[in-house]
Structure 1
Amino acid sequence: MQLPDGISAKPAEVEAQLSRILASPDFHVTDRVSHFLSYVVNETVAGRAERLKAFSIALEVFGRGPSFDAQNDPVVRIEASRLRAALERYYLTAGTSDPIVISIPKGGYTPTFARRDVPVASLETPEAAKDPIEPPKGRPWRAAGALVLFLATIFLAGLIYWFQGGRNHPPEKATNAGPESPVIVVLPFSALDDDATTKLYAAGLTEEIIGQLARFRELTVYGRETSSKISAETDGNSLRTQLGVRFSVEGAVRTSGQKLRVTSRLVDLNTGAVLWSHAYDEDLHSRDMVEVEQDVARNVATTLAQPYGIIFRADEQRAGRQQQAPPDDIEAYGCTLRFYAYRLQLNPTSHGEVRNCLEEAIARYPDYATAWAMLAYVYLDEDRFGFNPQPNEEPAIQRALNTARKAVYIDPANVRASQALMTALYFDLQPTEAMRIGDRALELNPNYTELLGEFGSRLAMSGHWDRGVALMKQALDRNPGYAGFYNGVLALAAYMKGDIPQAVTLIQQANLPEFPLYHVVAAVIYAEAAMPDEAKVEREAFLRMRPRFFDDMDAELSKRGFTSVDRTRLIAGARKAGFPVLEKDTAVSPAINSPTDLSKP
């Protein structure tokens, strides 16, 4: 058997890896999913990979008859999705050092086998995976294992019923995975003329928007099968009562020669209000239609669904007014909205409130991966900003790591969980592993603007300025509402590259008075630009906020991942700006995170 990059493996090695997976208590699947994995691996090893089609798997694994129709019975697709998720979770926990990686690429059912010559550092010890960390002390743990299993069984039964014909009823809700998230349906886009090509464009755009929205894990998006069965005459009240939908995305497509116009809008079905609308004009002479569809869908999805977008702002306003019917647990879901507001403010008062709120949320919903990921950031802010430290407990950075790993363990496909783990690893001075997790998160969702900004800033500060700046600019283009943070990091990048006029322009656009490090970066830039009055204002503001920062500036910069070369330059710039830099910081300590090759896009 030939494996990637010319590495060969004997069938016995693959079979041994299969046995290792199936025997692991961390491979949590049903018997038929285990049978599914065994079947596809054994068929591939035996040289019969060409037989691995939905029809043969349905007959051999799931006991379907010769009349099996994959269009009306999605059992193979559903179980393949579960199998992929289970394998990914296994290799993030117990299987991190296994010699062979078995995966099922999307778009087919033939497994691939990749060898690891060098063991990868474990993201979570097997002991931690078998005995996940408890919620913080003093908080109630209310979800007993038997109840969780019972409710999960009900949920699975509801899903099966939904896919096998009960599509006119709302799906069952998981009661321990978190409070109800915003539910969206994309109505079929209308073709405003009878041209067959226009109708094709409309259908393709509907599919693309569903796919783009579905990548945002904090939303519930009804799939194509549901969307395609909703007629244009269906009113909002029916969608809300029968499907539990809160928002609908609607739109229309018109063509005239080589000109294409797409209009789209977001409707709050509770009120009938149009929360957002936009028109996109494209010239099909200069761009391929597939590219146009992808760009329009990406713009619609990120505008509506990213953390500071239209949908979450609408829910934040609703939570504040409490005029409409709240989700199942308005307090727990409201914690996530308060987290978004805290991230824009970064002050100790809101930090303490959000920490308490999220700790209570995970006590009520121990499988709520997003809340665990958010709490990891809050714990991390204890360490990096000194917010509300808890000196009698485990160190904040370790709590952040444990909590982020818990989030990834619960849901390996949750982008926010991977982002939290990446950031915690970075501040724990593990930059190589942090960047590996960041790349993985980017593969999960390349449209998630908060991830683009966070990953870009970490890459830049660890010395990979070009790639970091490129990601930051993507984030800024797709999420201009968060421009202050992005411009602040871009200003620092311009300074490090010697483009002082650009650095001055960007730092003036950033304007982050509540964020301490903004002031030190601004002071350094203004001093280099021969703007002493502006430098003095920023220097005094920073020293009021962080008077002990210069007790050991090199350690502070090291903690934030800067290389020794960049630390040397920043220390010299701080001295030029009039900060009280100690003499011992003139010669910085050796770099602990020299850049590796991260030049890939």
Structure 2
Amino acid sequence: MDAGEDSEHAAQCMVAESDVRVETERLLDDARFHATERHRKLLKYLVDEFLAGRSATVKAYSIAVDVFGRPSSFDPNVDPIVRVEVSRLRAALDRYYETVGQQAPLRIELPRGNYRPRFIALSGPGGSVQLEDAPSFEPGAQDEAQEAPAQRPRTIRPGLFAACAGLTVTALAAVYGIATGHLGWPPALSVKPTIIVDVRSEPTAASAAQGLEESLVHALSQFSTVRTFTQPRQADVDTAAITGDISAGRPLPPKSNVYRLSVSYGDAAGSGGFSWQVIDMQTNETLRSGVAEAESGNSEAAGEHQDVVVKLARALAGDQGIVTSLEAARQLTNPSLGYGCVLLADTALARADRESMVAARTCLERSLTYQENDAEVLASLATVLVAGATGNSSVATERALKLADRATALAPQSSQSYAAQMMARFAAGETEAAFLSGRRAASLNPLDDSVLARLGYLLFVSGEWQEGVKLARSAGQNKEYVQRAAVLTLALEDYRIGNYDEALRRVRQLASPSDTMVNILRIAAAGQLGLQEEATDAMEELRGRVERFESVLRRQMWAQHFSPELAALIEAGLRKAGVRFSSGS
């Protein structure tokens, strides 16, 4: 192929990919495409995997786990869901393009015998371009491509898509292989980031500056999300010594990011204030900066900075803090196992996103094959198993409890280990033991709002109204970040006392199609207020994600150990909204 042909081929590649994406989005948005939400999700998954060059790795198992949320124990030989749903999607596509979609600029097909979509589009008058993945070698595969009379279809492979988009197939495979284990080499393993605290001042304020440094280190060290050190008094910092060797079992290339919290004491807002910067030690880039002022203005009383120190520690190392968020962003662009999977899980849990929880669980499970004694991974996996369990999943709960117990044994000073144990014990019905674990987690890190929020929620739904609300309000004092569990607890309290308008306002803040409990409360509050349109919208969102959702509502509250009084109040609102419970639900 000469230069001219190469340029023409590249241009066709660019046009072909954009055409595929446009047609896929158009089709998914077309109400005349009579497909269920599950089928639309399946179609998007198959197209995305094709464009990323991963069609060869798409199997019934991966579809069941990644798309339909089936557990990792899924057996396609026992459960035919994938075969049935793919067949129904294929029929829906055929019906659409044979009726209302005849004038579509591009046709999407699902050949029998494999999960590779095929795209046929007009390339000009009397011609067509067929976009195909590598040929199928599976038994029973049928090639339904048709040649246009005036021009032979040109096959464009997905590897060229990656090149056109500026991504190589190798890079895409690396992203996918990190979680699934399809790489031929050990993946990167990340550990939690390091924060080096460096407080500098004029000699006259050295004593107060040292006290401030100690306060910052103490506050940051309470968070399980980071490791904290003071700045060595030398020109060069041995970051290898700081990050340490975390490999165990199999040698892996660990990676850790190091940040410096540089504080200038007495340089801001008078002699009692301080300015701070968060610096990436790999690039020497200043990522964030700010100014804090001691309320008393006393430069010699470092204790007066306590409120500011606590606020700064939360802003840096909290579950939605600066360093935590930066690490989560790095994980998206440069995936890894270990701590990176923990960040994925934290994001999924904060959003109550079940699809993301499935991806996080896969990543965490993969991490344990390399580091079976990583307490953070064990605790995170336990929490995801509990949060992702549907109904009363005794198998998931039993495993979560074992993982959490192991995490607390390995890291007895970790608040996250005890928080995971709290969630697992509560799911298993061991409520009093769960509250003991939760209080232990809160005592280990009283600055972690997420622990207080989760503990408050569990106390509230089990009937401990007063204590649950108190913890929720305490966790909600940090106005910069919203703790879902705290807002949900306060919404439940408003609903319980008949303040339905405020309850509805709060759950609207948390509105998410995948958050079953939030939608249940939204339906109930709207029902109590007579807002039938909003209640119906919320019910439709649930129906799109949960089959036979009416029968799930009671089980959801029962599985979460709602007190009978609270469950009855919510059920009354659901009935007013038009939910019809069967006698056996």
TM-score, structure 2 length as denominator? 0.60
Cα deviation, 1:429-448, whole Å, max 9, x if unaligned, reads 11111111111111111111
Unaligned ranges ≥5, structure 2? 1-71, 74-188, 244-256
Structure 2 SS opposite 1:478: coil
Structure 2 CA distance, aligned partners of 1:286 and 1:529?
53
**Which residue of the partner structure matches residue 395 of structure 1?**
395
**Which residue of the partner structure matches residue 520 of structure 1?**
520
**Which residue of the partner structure matches residue 275 of structure 1?**
287
Structure 1 residue 243: deviation in Å? Answer: 4.5
Cα deviation, 1:356-393, whole Å, max 9, x if unaligned, reads 2211211211210010011112222342469xx8xxxx
Contact 2:468 2:489 in 1 (8 A): no
Cα deviation, 1:539-594, whole Å, max 9, x if unaligned, reads 32223333434337544322212112212211112111211134578xxxxxxxxx
Task: From the superposition, tell whether residues 533 and 465 of structure 1 become closer, same or farther in structure 2 (CA, over 3 Å).
Answer: same
Task: From the superposition, tell whether residues 530 and 462 of structure 1 become closer, same or farther in structure 2 (CA, over 3 Å).
Answer: same
- Aligned counterpart in structure 2 of residue 210 of structure 1, from 207, 213, 217: 217
Cα deviation, 1:465-521, whole Å, max 9, x if unaligned, reads 232222223323337434455323321221112223322332232222321221111
Q: Which protein has the larger Cα radius of gyration, Structure 1 or Structure 2?
A: 2
Kindly indicate whether residue 344 of structure 2 is the aligned counterpart of residue 344 of structure 1: no
- Aligned counterpart in structure 1 of residue 197 of structure 2, from 168, 183, 186: 186
Cα deviation, 1:15-68, whole Å, max 9, x if unaligned, reads xxxxxxxxxxxxxxxxxxxxxxxxxxxxxxxxxxxxxxxxxxxxxxxxxxxxxx
Contact 1:240 1:269 in 2 (8 A): no
Kindly indicate whether residue 420 of structure 2 is the aligned counterpart of residue 414 of structure 1: no
**Which residue of the partner structure matches residue 448 of structure 1?**
448
Contact 1:251 1:264 in 2 (8 A): yes
**Which residue of the partner structure matches residue 332 of structure 1?**
338
Task: From the superposition, tell whether residues 510 and 292 of structure 1 become closer, same or farther in structure 2 (CA, over 3 Å).
Answer: farther
Structure 1 SS opposite 2:579: coil
**Which residue of the partner structure matches residue 435 of structure 1?**
435
Equivalent position amino acid for 1:468 in 2: G
Task: From the superposition, tell whether residues 566 and 331 of structure 1 become closer, same or farther in structure 2 (CA, over 3 Å).
Answer: closer
Structure 2 CA distance, aligned partners of 1:277 and 1:257?
15
Structure 1 CA distance, aligned partners of 2:457 and 2:300?
33
Structure 1 SS opposite 2:512: coil
Kindly indicate whether residue 542 of structure 2 is the aligned counterpart of residue 542 of structure 1: yes
Structure 1 residue 293: deviation in Å? Answer: 2.1
Cα deviation, 1:231-271, whole Å, max 9, x if unaligned, reads 6xx4xx64646755711111123289998322222111111
Structure 2 CA distance, aligned partners of 1:499 and 1:288?
48
Structure 2 SS opposite 1:366: coil
Contact 1:484 1:511 in 2 (8 A): no
Equivalent position amino acid for 1:580 in 2: R
Structure 2 CA distance, aligned partners of 1:371 and 1:256?
40
**Which residue of the partner structure matches residue 230 of structure 1?**
233
Structure 1 SS opposite 2:477: helix
Structure 1 SS opposite 2:443: helix
**Which residue of the partner structure matches residue 320 of structure 2?**
308
Structure 2 CA distance, aligned partners of 1:521 and 1:208?
42
Task: From the superposition, tell whether residues 348 and 442 of structure 1 become closer, same or farther in structure 2 (CA, over 3 Å).
Answer: closer
**Which residue of the partner structure matches residue 377 of structure 1?**
383
Structure 1 residue 289: deviation in Å? Answer: 4.5
Q: CA RMSD in A?
A: 3.2
Structure 1 SS opposite 2:262: strand
**Which residue of the partner structure matches residue 355 of structure 1?**
361
Cα deviation, 1:165-200, whole Å, max 9, x if unaligned, reads xxxxxxxxxxxxx85321221002424xx6x4x443
Kindly indicate whether residue 483 of structure 2 is the aligned counterpart of residue 471 of structure 1: no
Structure 1 CA distance, aligned partners of 2:512 and 2:489?
11
Structure 2 CA distance, aligned partners of 1:376 and 1:541?
28
Contact 1:187 1:206 in 2 (8 A): yes
Structure 1 CA distance, aligned partners of 2:405 and 2:195?
29
**Which residue of the partner structure matches residue 278 of structure 2?**
266
**Which residue of the partner structure matches residue 557 of structure 1?**
557
**Which residue of the partner structure matches residue 227 of structure 2?**
220
**Which residue of the partner structure matches residue 570 of structure 1?**
570
Structure 2 SS opposite 1:364: coil
Cα deviation, 1:287-323, whole Å, max 9, x if unaligned, reads 995653221111111111122221122223333334x
Structure 1 SS opposite 2:293: strand
Equivalent position amino acid for 1:185 in 2: I
Cα deviation, 1:453-472, whole Å, max 9, x if unaligned, reads 21111111112223222222
Equivalent position amino acid for 2:373 in 1: D
Structure 2 CA distance, aligned partners of 1:527 and 1:579?
9
Task: From the superposition, tell whether residues 205 and 565 of structure 1 become closer, same or farther in structure 2 (CA, over 3 Å).
Answer: same
Task: From the superposition, tell whether residues 258 and 350 of structure 1 become closer, same or farther in structure 2 (CA, over 3 Å).
Answer: closer
Structure 2 CA distance, aligned partners of 1:344 and 1:257?
36
- Aligned counterpart in structure 1 of residue 265 of structure 2, from 231, 253, 263: 253
Cα deviation, 1:115-163, whole Å, max 9, x if unaligned, reads xxxxxxxxxxxxxxxxxxxxx99xxxxxxxxxxxxxxxxxxxxxxxxxx
**Which residue of the partner structure matches residue 496 of structure 2?**
496
TM-score, structure 1 length as denominator? 0.59
Cα deviation, 1:338-362, whole Å, max 9, x if unaligned, reads 2223223444433332222211211
Structure 2 CA distance, aligned partners of 1:257 and 1:238?
31
Contact 2:524 2:571 in 1 (8 A): no
Task: From the superposition, tell whether residues 295 and 364 of structure 1 become closer, same or farther in structure 2 (CA, over 3 Å).
Answer: same
Structure 1 CA distance, aligned partners of 2:349 and 2:521?
20
**Which residue of the partner structure matches residue 292 of structure 1?**
304
The runs of at least 4 aligned residues of structure 1 exceeding 6 Å deviation read 255-259, 285-288
**Which residue of the partner structure matches residue 511 of structure 2?**
511
Structure 2 CA distance, aligned partners of 1:534 and 1:267?
47
Structure 1 residue 411: deviation in Å? Answer: 1.4
- Aligned counterpart in structure 1 of residue 329 of structure 2, from 293, 317, 324: 317
Task: From the superposition, tell whether residues 315 and 378 of structure 1 become closer, same or farther in structure 2 (CA, over 3 Å).
Answer: same
Task: From the superposition, tell whether residues 549 and 429 of structure 1 become closer, same or farther in structure 2 (CA, over 3 Å).
Answer: farther
Structure 1 CA distance, aligned partners of 2:354 and 2:270?
55
